[in-house]
A and B are shown apart, each in its own frame.
Chain A
């Protein structure tokens, strides 16, 4: 099965330019365990796509492969036309991929603003000596970065009163927001969200869904989502990829994926599908 040809959100554009990210035959083994197996996958430019699958299907591992935390055992990944296989996480971030984590990983003892400023690290230029001498250029950059951090925090809906609070003291929903702001701070072309609605109530999930659409339209970012909440997935995704035991078992538009017997089998167990045969 070839996922290299994307299910397009923009049918008018030529296929070759459509994919912002492309994974070709990516495999990841940990010792004897194959966590991700020969996955072909691509994300159309400015699309919102999802990866779903049962627990332990290799979704987060796949995320970590895309962001450089893991190096693929086999296969290649390209982003925006460039090969990024084996690049370091910070290099991949600098190219324009940003992510959030399944379990929030903010820098707890830093304020919300400082967290977002760290997110801009790759876009800053101040070096060791510039910082020691605090040159006018470094001062200006510092001021701009701080300002932009506040803007980004407001954009994701964090009230200005809590911008300077330590991340650890923020409410759960606000921490999720700061994490998204921190990811956005690096001006990504592709945003990877790992279960962003985990722990949210239906209303908050709805808001996030709206937010993702707005984000895509405002900033022209592509979004890749790992999500368990099927309402969110079905509501927002233009393309859904299903992983099971590290393999891609289905891909396509929401309705098609929902009806795919292999997907039903993966989620509900084998007997069900045997009866269908």
Chain B
């Protein structure tokens, strides 16, 4: 295993074991979700708290997607931002003025109402955009999966890293990639404005009332959470874990490596795309500068901080890091360096803070905040780390 957590020094966590007993899990989970549903009623509908909640939920969707690739299947993906980008562009194409040169003044509206239906460009119902984002990112996930199939550990990380960078570069320079009237991206200018989410039977979302956004993001998160749980305890989930522990043994037991890995990449990518489309609409822009390597690390840090392969851990990691990134650092602690007489804002060193947190985690509790039973074993007893005897190169 060459996932970051596993390559850390093997040490026992010193913090208490936070794992819940099996029987308590479902009631606690339901109570947790109910609490999350009623949460918006305690805050101003357009305030910064709601904004943070929306972002946390959207990031949780991504982290849970990445968890399938990195946590379950053990394929270290450092280019997850690519799926954010592709999902966001799906929203950009399907819900903005961006393609107006292709459609002419009439525009092309599918299941949308209100003023957007009259505008040029393509305007689709958000459900359709979600489907589009899922299809595009699943394909992209499998495309990135293909060259990594013969690779292991560190090499997978390098290829996925490069893939993330390639997509990022294409996004930045896409304004010069033209095919007739079609421009691939809007580059650094960004596609803006982007249509607000419109769902069937509901009014279009607005930026004044963030509660609708929050509930949508929460619904997506719960959906992805459910998919995570169900896949983990399925034929496919067992195959992923088998693959993560010992590819040779897994293949010899009848697990098709290529298909199983591609399913992990594809599924994980689809959730990144879903969240990407949502965030594009929510932030009202698809700007190439958003799709940086540091975003991949940001999401990966959520997975590692929470506990690789631990579903609740990943949710917790997403919430914690999202709050630190969007609230604690910019709003609360930002002026601390200046008060100490230093000439910089804390937001300028966000990446450094996350790096420092990861180091602390690796030393104190490498298995994550809410460790998964298996991962904990792998770290504490070194299971799966001794795959030195690697007999075969798999096709």
Cross-chain contact B241 with A110 (CB below 8 angstroms): yes
Cross-chain contact A128 with B238 (CB below 8 angstroms): no
Taking CB atoms and an 8 Å cut-off, the chain B residues in 376-395 that contact chain A are 377-378, 381, 383-384, 389, 391-392, 394-395
| Given A88-B251, A89-B252: A109 in contact with B231 (beta carbons within 8 A) | no
Cross-chain contact B246 with A107 (CB below 8 angstroms): yes
CA of A105 to CA of B388, assembled, Å: 12
Taking CB atoms and an 8 Å cut-off, the chain A residues in 214-232 that contact chain B are none
- The number of chain A residues touching the other chain, given as a range, is 35 or more
CA of A134 to CA of B267, assembled, Å: 16
Cross-chain contact A124 with B381 (CB below 8 angstroms): no
Asked whether B374 is an interface residue with its Cβ less than 8 Å from the other chain, the reply is yes
Residues 167-204 of A, flagged 1 when their CB comes within 8 A of B and 0 if not, give 01000000000000011011000000000000000000
CA of A70 to CA of B251, assembled, Å: 12
Asked whether B150 is an interface residue with its Cβ less than 8 Å from the other chain, the reply is no
Main secondary structure on B side of the interface with A: helix
Asked whether B257 is an interface residue with its Cβ less than 8 Å from the other chain, the reply is yes
Q: Which residue of A lies closest to B223 (CB)?
A: A132
Cross-chain contact B238 with A132 (CB below 8 angstroms): no
Cross-chain contact A132 with B227 (CB below 8 angstroms): yes
Asked whether B373 is an interface residue with its Cβ less than 8 Å from the other chain, the reply is yes
- Chain A residues in 8 Å Cβ range of B383: 108-109, 168
User: Separation in Å of the B73 CB from the closest CB of chain A?
Assistant: 13
Cross-chain contact B242 with A118 (CB below 8 angstroms): yes
| Given A69-B392, A101-B249, A107-B241: A128 in contact with B263 (beta carbons within 8 A) | yes
Cross-chain contact A110 with B374 (CB below 8 angstroms): yes
Cross-chain contact B245 with A69 (CB below 8 angstroms): no
Asked whether B255 is an interface residue with its Cβ less than 8 Å from the other chain, the reply is yes
Residues 39-57 of B, flagged 1 when their CB comes within 8 A of A and 0 if not, give 0000000000000000000
Residues 211-239 of B, flagged 1 when their CB comes within 8 A of A and 0 if not, give 00000000000000001001100111111
Asked whether B250 is an interface residue with its Cβ less than 8 Å from the other chain, the reply is yes
List residues of chain A with CB under 8 Å of any chain B CB. Answer: 60, 64, 67-70, 88-91, 93-94, 98-99, 101, 103, 105-110, 114, 117-124, 126-128, 131-132, 134, 138, 141-142, 145, 166, 168, 182-183, 185-186
Given contacts A98-B253, A110-B241, A126-B236, 11 further A-B contacts (CB under 8 A): A60-B391, A90-B257, A93-B254, A109-B374, A118-B239, A118-B250, A123-B254, A128-B236, A134-B230, A145-B235, A186-B254
